[in-house]
Structure 1
Amino acid sequence: MRFGFNKAALLIGAAAIMMPAAAAAQEVQTVQGEINSAPRTFNASVPANSVMVIDVLSTSDLDPVVAVTNAATGEMIAENDDGGEGFNSRVRIPGGERGVNIVIEVNSFDAAFAMEGEQFGGTFDLVMTTSEFSAPGPITYGSTVMGTVPSGESVEYTFAARAGDMIEVAMLSEGELDPYLELRDPSGEAIMYDDDGGEGLNSLLRYTFGEAGTYTVAAMGFAASAGEYTLRVRERREAPDPQLPLQVIGFNDTATGELGVPWEENAMLPGTIDYMLSEDAKRAIRRGNGHITIRMNAVEGAEYDPAFGGGAIDPFIEVGFETPLGWASVLSDDDGSGTLDSLLPIDLSVLDDHPGMLDMLRIRVQGFGGSSGAYTLTITEGLAERFTFDVEGDAAAEALDW
């Protein structure tokens, strides 16, 4: 993406203002250790106004786990299994305003499953990296900030939310960095995270706040990756109304909805919606009007932003049955209209004498290839002509061109 000089200057200036101050030189301590069927413990101190990143790096077949407690109170501060690269473990411990003395316990993942007398363990390096704490910079709706994430570190931003606010944050990178986003509540507890919810390896996080407060967005690299990034917060939008996973549709009805990415965790938009036929539609089919055409169209003019998705849905229809054993797909269509919209003619007259099958019939809508956005769904009587792709002919034509 290229910007004109003025826009680029504005973005760079905004990044300089909103980016947390650079950390001071890091202090790194490495201790070699070994687990021999029992955990190992180490004492350490995290200075005031600093952050310690603790890595447990296996130098054997060990799958390490780490737990950190407050040395004075015994309270658990953090624990982790595979937060580093591969099976290695990583935690991040803030020193706060007064500093904190900690106890680091390193154990084997196998310890939880070992039988009495069974041996487990291996060698490891305990790496403690301490750097100056940088206060998070504020972000708000419409913010764009750019920066660099060091390996094993995170860059944090605060967001002042009201109850009911929705935030959409995208973390983008074109280099070696694999973006990873984490959202923390006012107490610092992680409440949502995302790795590859955006395009490619980019991250996309959506969340509706139940309570007002100052939340933290932490930008980091997955598996200790590092590099340059752009963090974008979408302009304010109202949270979408809830959509029922099963809805009813009749002949000549138009249903509308908006679909999200099927694999997005804690998604506010469903990845699929099922429709069942109305009683009037089923009666019409039983009277002999079983020829129907199902159309699913993308909503024209819907807003599209590749960082946040939406508005570019490639409609995909499946027709099947909801059985006691689960979903059974029978027919599907992607581009039957000759465009990206779906068109599926189907003869349901074969179900005239099987009323129970009509009751179980479902029309499932979703975005092809993980696309998302708004759509309309209609069912009309009659069999419309369906566009078919001549795959063999296209291949032959391409061969002749060569």
Structure 2
Amino acid sequence: MLLDFESIGYDCEFGLVQRYWGLEPLGLFRFTSAPINELIAALDTDFIEYGAEGDLSIFEGPEDHLFCRSTRYGFSYNTCCLASQTEPSAIVDREYKKVRYLKERFLEDLAAGQKIFVRNEVGDADETENLARALRRHGPATLLSIVAPTDRRRAGDVGWRADGIIEATIDTAVLFRRSGSVPLEDWLTVCGRAHALVHGQDAEPEPADDAEAPCEPFDREGRDRSDPSIHLLSSDEVVLASASARKLRSGEMYAFSAWIWLPADFAGTRVAIDFLPVRYGYFDADLSKRECWQRIWASCKPRVQDTEVQIRLIGRGPPNACFWSADWRLEASPYPTSRPAPIPLVELHPDEFGDRVERA
């Protein structure tokens, strides 16, 4: 179902949604920053100047990455090359070929009218209508416009706004800009409902592959993780617990999850799950939520050469900051299946947990 959608900006969030579901479709704007007015101008001119001679330039961006920018339209994307290892002149011809090929595919998809084009936070109503008009100039395209909730729009609401425009509300979209966490389940819900509007199908999102039943992972000491354990930080960022998972099938998505309880006085700055060697999707702890259970997770897709993967619970904060975790689970799925939260904790001093205290 997600392959019937294609991102047209504002950022790379929807491209990551597809990746975290184990999909890697080609797309002109999948990981490209595209300002709305320039995107409309490009659509109105058939992208004639995008990738034309002299349009593209390579520049160094954050964390040593080389980016490619369109001088005419201001589109930019990560080339996945490092400035410390690559001369810009060595990749510019490759980027011209890439842009021209993807541009041709994009225009063909627009003309076919089979895809739903996703724009995350378009802007005001006029911009949304102008973008839809520019898309439909090429064919019977449908625009899925992601907006924030209001008094009249609840999270998860999806409906026709006008001919060719579906409006969908995602409450947690701001998380991506704040922490990089992608609300995958929310995206699947609105995409499923939008797909149903266009194709008249069941509005439920695709179910996770449950060919393998969830299993309980264990930490390095072989302790069962179904009951709550408390974790004490000893330095700025530490691995509080880890587990190895072997015999996972290469090329398939796996999700590891745990319930986290942050006390009211928690002074840490991060609680997260990590997969080694490669983490795909993730949802870190929301530090604004205290005295309640919240679920964090991460996913991975083992490569052929990965004989095992390492799963780590990470905490960052001052020494002796503490939190609880419970119900660790590993599943054959791009994201965790629904589970009830553990029973709420009563306030206990760490000493009362005895051997369930985890010290890094």
> TM-score, normalised on structure 1?
0.24
Higher Cα radius of gyration: 1
More helix by share: 2
With a CA cutoff of 8 Å and minimum separation of 6, indicate the structure with the bigger relative contact order.
Answer: 2
> TM-score, normalised on structure 2?
0.26
More strand by share: 1
